[in-house]
Amino acid sequence: MSRLSIHKLKEYKCRGERFAMLTAYDFGMARLAEQAGIPIILVGDSLGSVVLGYDSTVPVTMEDMIHHTRAVVRGTQKAIVVADMPFMSYQANPDDAMRNAGRLLQEGGATAVKLEGGSHVAPLVQRMVECGIPVMGHLGLTPQSVNQFGGHRVQGKTPAAAAKLLADARALEEAGAFAVVLETIPAVLAKMVTERLAIPTIGIGAGPDCDGQVQVLHDMLGIYDDCRQMKHAKRYANLGETIRDAIREYRMEVEGRSFPTEEHSFVAEAPLPDSTRAREAVAVA
Ligand code: KIV
């Protein structure tokens, strides 16, 4: 089975069909996402927060991204797999950026890469696209710049900031990006960008008018029920509670000796000779 092409997203836009992108970081979850019909999976550097326990995406490395991208690729056959370029894998030097993007495709097996930034990364995006590396852009509240923004603040709120974001989106499109994520910006601005670009926009905290939407898997599944309460995230399940309850039940059954039972145990083919039992008893003691 061959994977969907990145051009599929433009077809969705032309037909006015909305599409859902979802993050995944491992084999099992990627497999479930694909079985649920998700056409495009993002191995986001949100990996740092939701899987690796960092307080931002900044510590995530190329090795982390390659490792998790491989697992997601193994779990999928059809979905487009986009891998995030982690902090400082593309900002310092264009040659390193090219090599790192290439690694995500060659070693990770990704279909495309995503990187954050507007006009200043457009020449890099163009070079990648010319070398055959499909690129997704990311504008608005770009998490790798959270220290620069001074926190998770809505971006593009003033007329000047909105005009800059629109110019950045155009620069990415002209550079050859095949789609652009718009994160935490006013809905009215996301609508304007979506209408003015030929490439699809994918929103998170950017209102209902983007061509597609993206959610972080752990947020929509409610894995962290005591933190990560994001306004833009909709919780479709409370798996944190379900998982904790299941683990607690298992622990209590082991402690109360009601698990395992015969149902989960194995029988020997013939009665064990007494001498074997005696030797085992000595070994266990
Ligand atoms: O890393 C990530 O999960 C992302 C999404 C929030 C778009 O970049």
Q: How confident is the model at residue 282 (pLDDT cuts 50, 70, 90)?
A: low
* Residue 255: strand, helix, or coil: helix
Q: Where are the domains of the chain?
A: 7-242
Locate tokens 């599944």: which residue? 221
Helix and strand element counts for the chain (H, E)? 12, 8
For residue 278, the model assigns a pLDDT of 59
Q: In whole angstroms, what is the distance from residue 88 CA to residue 69 CA?
A: 18
* Structural fold of domain 7-242: TIM Barrel (3.20.20)
CA-CA-CA-CA torsion sign (276, 281, 282, 283): positive
Q: How confident is the model at residue 283 (pLDDT cuts 50, 70, 90)?
A: low
Q: In whole angstroms, what is the distance from residue 60 CA to residue 58 CA?
A: 6
pLDDT tens for residues 230-240? Answer: 888 999 999 99
Q: Is 115 in the pocket of ligand 1 (CB under 6 A)?
A: no
Upstream peptide bond of 260 is cis (omega within 30 degrees of 0)? yes
Q: In whole angstroms, what is the distance from residue 241 CA to residue 271 CA?
A: 44
Q: What is the mean pLDDT of residues 8-16?
A: 97
CB of 202 within 8 A of CB of 179?
A: yes
The set of catalytic residues is 183
Q: Is 30 in the pocket of ligand 1 (CB under 6 A)?
A: no
Nearest CA to ligand 1 atom 5: 44
Radius of gyration over every alpha carbon of the chain, rounded to an integer in angstroms = 23
Q: In whole angstroms, what is the distance from residue 252 CA to residue 231 CA?
A: 36
Q: Which atom of ligand 1 is nearest to the CA of 214?
A: 7
Question: What pTM was computed for the model?
Answer: 0.93
Q: Which residue has the higher pLDDT, 84 or 271?
A: 84
Q: Which atom of ligand 1 is nearest to the CA of 143?
A: 8
With a cut of 60, say whether residue 202 has pLDDT above it. Answer: yes
Q: Is 46 in the pocket of ligand 1 (CB under 6 A)?
A: yes
Q: What is the mean pLDDT of residues 151-180?
A: 96
For residue 147, the model assigns a pLDDT of 83
What stretch of H or E contains 74? Answer: helix 62-74
pLDDT tens for residues 223-277? Answer: 998 766 788 899 999 999 999 999 999 999 999 999 999 999 999 999 888 765 5
Nearest CA to ligand 1 atom 1: 44
Q: In whole angstroms, what is the distance from residue 116 CA to residue 85 CA?
A: 8
